Amino acid sequence: MIKPHGAESLTPLYVVEDESRANLIREAEQLPSMQLTSAAAANAVMLGGGYFTPLPGFMDRADALQVAESMHTVGGLFWPVPILNLTHSAAGIETGARLALRDPNVDRHPVMAIQSVDKVETLSDDDLEELVQQIFRTNDTKHPGVSAFLTQGNVLVSGALQVLSFSYFATEFADTFRTAYQIRDAIERRGWRKVVAFQTRNPMHRAHEELCRMAQAATGADGIVIHMLLGKLKPGDIPAPVRDAAIRKMVDMYFPANTVLITGYGFDMLYAGPREAVLHAVFRQNAGCTHLIVGRDHAGVGDYYGAFDAQTIFDDGVPAGALQIEIFRADHAAYSKKLGRVVMMRDAPDHTEDDFVILSGTKVREMLSAGNPLPEEFARPEVAQILMDHYRTQSA
């Protein structure tokens, strides 16, 4: 099986042994505490699950700025996005202390991790400007990732973690949420050697479905891991339970049995385009996948990134040998009226736009909200029905 990033084996920070975890939870009740931001809580979940192997915890200022500038830590580890615990005030938090980190997304804010505080540092305005400009390629606060980042605070609390909870992901998405080590175990049990991962924050339409088949055929993969984001998105995006139900229906009805592993991960969407695409590759390698589909405007938003910037960063930003996982480069896919099937648009140079069935996101939402069926060339009817039911409920 493919090795994890930067390590011989995964380094999940979740405390697996029940008695040890219970003892730490009791200890945490006597410790000073801070409530995490949603982004920091998501980072803790990813660190706990081994997705962020080999990081031992939250980065300090020097690593954050170095990663933002060069995609390497001060120690030389290749890493695309700073993994941070930001807050507005560190009053009562001392260097060298043990700190109980509380979950912002669960009632009564239970402890989800204990952090050994290495440093408490204040980021300057220049530091924040540098971070957002490098990570997001813009400092425009209309960008949802920039806006979310800048609302977290400017006090950085770094240090190693012992993770005690996977927050609401393990309970609300018990059939879908999986850690990196659980996905590795599932791949190994199936005897898959080549595995292609598909990242999604949306329900999967016919084009997404066919992209998975194309990538599997092109890479010779034994199986597909559909890996859906379960954390926070921008307002107006379809909630995770609806996406989950739609994807399961599609796989059950239109893929051969035992060829697809449906999983999800607990992380908030960054909308960081190219940098986020590289982060997606890192943690899919940690989950045991050998290939990742990177499509048009992968992890992008609005017009902040070029259509294929998330692919070209692997050519001009990722050093040779930094990652073992390989990229399957996908173009926009759509149903061809001429050919009677879904194709990547780059493979149909004789087509005009009118030869494809293409619907904008706005048009899809309008049709679903009105209770109108989507064209079968665009979406499987069973999937469209789940989405229509959701929009009908929203508008009721």
Q: Is 268 left (phi over 0), alpha (psi -120 to 50) or beta?
A: beta
- Please answer whether residues 55 and 7 qualify as being in contact, where contact means their C-beta atoms are separated by less than 8 angstroms: no
Domain extent listing, the chain: 18-170, 174-395
Q: If you average pLDDT over residues 219-241, what whole number do you get?
A: 87
Cα 116 to Cα 379: distance, rounded to the nearest angstrom = 49
Tokens, residue 276 = 């986020």
Q: Do domains 18-170 and 174-395 have the same CATH topology?
A: no
- Residue-wise pLDDT tens digits, 27-76: 999 999 999 999 999 999 999 999 999 999 999 999 999 999 999 999 99
Among 184, 383, 213, 377, residue whose Cα is nearest residue 285: 184
Task: Provide the 10 A C-beta neighbour count for residue 33.
Answer: 17
* Cα-based distances in Å from 167 to 41, 181, 231, 242: 8, 17, 11, 20
- Residue-wise pLDDT tens digits, 334-374: 999 999 999 999 999 999 999 999 988 778 878 888 888 89
On the CB side of 255, CA atoms within 13 Å amount to 26
Q: What 3-state DSSP class applies to 374?
A: coil
DSSP string, 60-125: -HHHHHHHHHHSB-TT--B-SS----EES--TT--TT-EEEEE-TTSTT--EEEEEEEEEEEEPPH
Q: What 3-state DSSP class applies to 279?
A: helix
Q: Which residue numbers are catalytic?
A: 201-202
What number of residues does the chain have? 396
How much is the pLDDT for 395? 67
3-class SS string, 211-259: HHHHHHHHHCCCEEEEEEECCCCCCCCCCHHHHHHHHHHHHHHHCCCCC
Residue 201 burial (CB < 10 Å; 0-12/13-18/19+)?
middle
Q: If you average pLDDT over residues 262-289, what whole number do you get?
A: 97
Architecture of domain 18-170 in CATH?
Roll (3.10)
Architecture of domain 174-395 in CATH?
3-Layer(aba) Sandwich (3.40)
Cα 80 to Cα 134: distance, rounded to the nearest angstrom = 10
Q: If you average pLDDT over residues 294-303, what whole number do you get?
A: 94
